[in-house]
Amino acid sequence: MQITLSQNLSYCFGVKRTLTLVEELLAKNPDKMFYMLGEVVHNEHVINDLKAKGLQVVYDLDQVEDSGTVIIQSHGAPREIFEVLKTRNIDYIDATCPMVEVIHKKIRRIEEQGYFPVIIGQRGHDEVRGIAGQVKDALIFGRPEEVTGDHFVGREKVGVVVQSTFIRTEALAVLEKIKKLVPEVKFENTICRPTTERQSEVKRIAGKYDCIVIIGSKSSANTNHLFYLASGTESCVYLVDEPESIPNLHIPPDSTVFIASGASTPMSLIEQVVSALTQGDQSP
């Protein structure tokens, strides 16, 4: 088996930055209670490791004791969350990814300039909720067929931003549908550079290898997007979230295999999956 590794493996800048911050806080303050509002990254292995080190993962501020410290996850949070934290005088650390913060600033500026805010992204995703929570109201679309004229009755100007990990071609398809319905559309391409690089690489190599293995959590949007982009080609494509699943994959021993990963996948997991593939290749 010939294995080729992606040039864009493991954590992106934003995830690495947040995890380093959380790890240092837990190590230096063993007696202090730290709460992560939502999952710092969408990867079960990472979350379980942080929980074992003392981090409390909560999804509602009612679960937080006033004496604790809340860490805002890398996906960001709505402005109302910060208002509640300040009202209750709870210490907090904002670990929002800088690239997501850019989107927050852009959508607030869109609203200030008189455009109605539109978000292209996955409805219900933590990042999208955080972006929408920066303005009074916003429309959210994930697919072109969701865009109808009823959404834009009386709206002459809209401003559009994109979830940082969304698929570019999908975003542009939604944008074109909006442009047909609204006289003036201001578009901000806020898909982050690491996402673009990973997606471009997978699209470029799809079909050139016998198999493509995407390593990451099934709850990770950017991981699922890579799987989607790699699928539908002559390559067999697998999304793997643990090395134990490798024996169940149908990869012939003489295959060429390309390994890619989501932006929230730890390198230790990638190494375990590659090891499992190599060991399977050596099995009689």
Active site residues: 127
Q: Say how far apart CA 243 and CA 50 lie, in whole Å.
A: 20
Number of H helices, E strands in the chain: 9, 12
Read off the tokens for 27: 């190590």
Read off the tokens for 63: 């679960």
**Burial class of residue 98 in the structure, from the number of CB atoms within 10 Å of its CB (0-12 exposed, 13-18 middle, 19+ buried):** exposed
Phi-psi sector, 73: left (phi>0), alpha (psi -120 to 50), beta: beta
Question: In whole angstroms, how far apart are CA 81 and each of 38, 133, 154, 248, 280?
Answer: 12, 9, 31, 43, 48
User: Which segments of 89-210 are extended strands (E)?
Assistant: 91-94, 116-120, 139-141, 157-162, 184-187
State the residue for tokens 């990472």: 46
